[in-house]
Amino acid sequence: MGRITLEGVAKRFGDVEVIPPLNLDIEDGEFVVFVGPSGCGKSTLLRLIAGLEDVSDGRILIDGSDATPLSPARRGLAMVFQSYALYPHMSVRKNIAFPMRMAGIDETEQKRRIDNAAKALNLTDYLDRRPGQLSGGQRQRVAIGRAIVREPSAFLFDEPLSNLDAALRVGMRLEISELHNRLKTTMIYVTHDQVEAMTMADKIVVLHAGRIEQVGSPLELYRNPRNVFVAGFIGSPR
Ligand code: ADP
Ligand code: MG
């Protein structure tokens, strides 16, 4: 299960209101993309959902129960960071096992989940290598593997492909979409890249200065942008 509901969620840093109160419903199994220009509050919103930042106002419900007071570890969500967040001195296997060791999952179960994740991500032959011996795309797959083994109710991605080159980005986009088709787990994906948003999303949330400008499918936003900002942002060539 991975239904996430934001009710009047707001965030202030000191006197600055970065996210004015907003409401948002994310259905179980949806691939939702938060898109908007740099500085519009995408990462902050994702970090609020993850529990890495406290809300200033409002509530976050996960599968109908109030998750606002819960620590990140107890929300059952997994954040996928950029690949450079891997431990360079640990093998791929140990990197992937790390969150399970922290959660006290027994070794047999750890092995089962690592084998499944490695198969899903084409990493079976690379489990004994270190991150430094992998390509950028492989490193990003390890970062995703580390999230998969936690069997989260939702995956949270913050611009996971932004430090990959353009060709690799296209391939990884497809891989993440395939993974979503296979797992059918809720995914929230943050990007400033309109093409990523249009090609990956079931539902796009367009953000501008912390406000939701419009929510809809790629086709809905393309055909019926609510205002000039959405039209310019979704329609403009890169
Ligand atoms: P995005 O991910 O869309 O680029 P962010 O969520 O990182 O945007 O930032 C949104 C706004 O919040 C920016 O103006 C940023 O400077 C501000 N901000 C983010 N984190 C902090 C913080 N810890 N303290 C103060 N301001 C912050
Ligand atoms: Mg950001």
By most ligand atoms within 8 Å of CB, the mutation choice from 11, 12, 13 for ligand 1 is 13
From residue 149, how far is each of 65, 136, 142 by CA, in Å?
24, 20, 11
Pick from 14-18, 35-39, 160-164, 209-213: least confident: 160-164
Distance 9 CA to ligand 1 centre (A): 16
Distance 40 CA to ligand 2 centre (A): 8
Pick from 38-52, 104-118, 152-166, 205-219: least confident: 152-166
Q: Is the CB–ligand 1 distance for residue 41 below 6 Å?
A: yes
**Paired residues of 32 in beta bridges:** 188, 203
The stretch 37-42 carries a mean pLDDT of 96
Q: What is the pLDDT of residue 110?
A: 97
Average pLDDT, the chain: 94
The stretch 7-16 carries a mean pLDDT of 97
Q: Is the CB–ligand 1 distance for residue 47 below 6 Å?
A: no
Task: Return the higher-pLDDT residue of 84 and 68.
Answer: 68
| pLDDT confidence band for 234 (50 / 70 / 90) | confident
| Residues 199-220 pLDDT 10s | 999 999 999 999 999 999 999 9
Q: Is the CB–ligand 1 distance for residue 162 below 6 Å?
A: no
| pLDDT confidence band for 238 (50 / 70 / 90) | very low
Q: Whose CA is nearest to atom 19 of ligand 1?
A: 44
pLDDT at 236 over 60: no
Q: What is the pLDDT of residue 64?
A: 96
Smallest-distance ligand from the CA of 209:
1
Which atom of ligand 1 is nearest to 158's Cα? 2
Please state the ipTM of this predicted complex.
Answer: 0.98
pTM of the entire structure? Answer: 0.94
pLDDT at 81 over 90: no
Q: Is the dihedral of CA 61, 41, 35, 140 positive or negative?
A: negative
